[in-house]
Amino acid sequence: MFLYDYEIQEQIGKGGFATVFRAKNYKKNQDVAVKVINWQLMKERKFEEKVLQEIEIHSKLCHPNVIKLLDHFSYSDNIYLVLELCENDTVKRYLEENGRLSEREARDLLEQIVHGLLYLQSQNIVHRDIKPDNLLLTKDMQVVATRSSHGLEADCWALGCILYALLVGSPPFDSGSAKNTVTQVVMKNPKIPSHISRSASELIQNLLQKDPTRRMKLNDVLRHPFMCSQTRGRSNSSSSANKKFSAHEAKDSGMGSNSFSRDNSPLITYNYHRSR
């Protein structure tokens, strides 16, 4: 199917209000993702103003760790968003397939997520749902975030959950049911495995403070000793994970190390909300 400058190809994702397709801008020979939003359904749910606001916000954003909105248009009762293509799926899927990361790898990834969130903060924007399955990896292993926090404190809590998941391979609160998970979040502190260093454990605990007023601020994360460490940390990822990173080194950073460089960072995606 051809639509304006785009050849719409196979479906790569689907949600309640939208379907995502792989596509190609044949004029630029550029692979992209096209998100097709059912506009009639948006109007029925009275979400049209929210969608238009998000498009306006997203079109003005420009940062290596924030997914790019390349184009947008309407056709036949649908809204089409042309987005940067993320070919390596989500961080969650990456962890499922390759196991937990080393502290060096986790630190490199977290640093880039923080830079993306700080950029959004500078634009008076908070993200709404930072978690491994809403962080996408591009072909060059860049991270981008996908969904929509209730404020900066929620983004910091989410960072603690992400760091834990990167180093452990599973989320800090996961009981198998939504009700029990909520109970764990409210009543319990996550168990930190012994293989995690003291500085990493301290950062996780600072970010997962249940009292938002005592929770570490986003600006302070990059100054934490764990983030400032020049060592590789313990190689706590599996050999298969290391092999997987090695396979991507040429695409990652062009350097002979298992790390996420600035050019292969996570990308932060959709949705954003103006902070008040």
Based on the number of CB atoms within 10 Å of its own CB, is 216 exposed (0-12), middle (13-18) or buried (19 or more)?
buried
Q: What distance in Å separates the CA atoms of residue 154 and residue 162, rounded to the nearest whole number?
A: 12
- Known binding residue 27? Answer is no
What phi and psi values does residue 9 have, to the nearest 5 degrees? -110, -135
Q: Which amino acid is it at 223?
A: R
140 catalytic? Reply is no
Exposure string (b/e) for 170-198, b if CB count within 10 Å is 16 or more? ebbbeeeeeeeeeeebeeeebebeeebbe
What tokens were used for 214?
Answer: 């005592």
Contacts of 37 (CB under 8 A, 6+ apart): 17, 18, 51, 78, 79, 80, 81
The catalytic position among 77, 89, 129, 220 is 129
Q: Which amino acid is it at 253?
A: S
Helix (H, G, I), strand (E, B) or coil at 92: helix
Strand partners of residue 46: none
The one-character DSSP state at 191 is -
Catalytic residue annotation = 129
Q: Summarize the annotated binding site for ATP as residue ranges.
A: 35
